[in-house]
Structure 1
């Protein structure tokens, strides 16, 4: 699928770390890859609101095309490492023995160049107010990965892994955190796999009659 044909990234997981796993997925049976190169990685990070739009110019000023593409390759590798971790632990509590599995993530986080700033934000209801936000210094390709690694770390420490689920669509690969009221969510979204399941059930019922 070309960039022109590719839809916007699917951010349906109710968690940024799982949304990252879904940056490659097959909701219609064929893989869609949103991080093919460095440009894709930057745009995905902005779309997922893991970095701010105004940081794009800083990133391109500091990192070469080669460094950006290297970051994209490492991001894809990190994504599959994290997919393995999530697949192993989804549906059950994560115990302390999993800490050793998280060493690659801790190693990456140790090099983060994060700092905090006070800015101004315009709110339609509250008007102008101060805004406490986090930014990064962009020195090397790993700095792009740190924005994702931070979300992975938050996810591991705060998410209930018993509520981590894979869409029940027969060809769908999307993950999500089930934060629904009764934890009965089955589909990545009703507009994709949910509607297909309803249509299939309707056809089966009609055929039975």
Structure 2
């Protein structure tokens, strides 16, 4: 590791670094710093050391103060502020874990439901994904087929086709698309989008919510 160009941390900075680490640990957000591209920290004999995400070098006193201000920038009272981006990442991490626990099937299962071979199901699903008519999610070198979008025969539900096309055309991350479609949505007054779409009267509302979300994604 190259020699750090930062000056040694001052006592005040070491105190701030420890307080910041304890605050994030208390919120359960410390594990999401790296995912957010923020400095991370480790603990040693001299206390907490915050490190630059690119170089691994200790961050300067000034950079640490900037990080503290950034994480506490939401809310009128910094003491009670919450790092919104880290909260979002924690929520998404929990949602991913829940979806991975029984919320998907593989090509073979889709083939079984459709009464075709695994290879035929794989080919059909990827062709549908190219038309933005099916959501496929990559994970650890595999491809997951979220089950919410499938009917009992393994076909993509007709009422979701417009919704999927809208979201996928926006370039939305597949995981975030999956999470949004299967979680209570503020744009729908707390209803779960894919469930609300089953109601013909609610389907237009879901489609408009998807358009709104897609527009935010593009920007």
TM-score (norm 2): 0.18
> Which is greater in Rg?
2
**Structure holding more strand per residue:** 1
**Structure holding more helix per residue:** 2
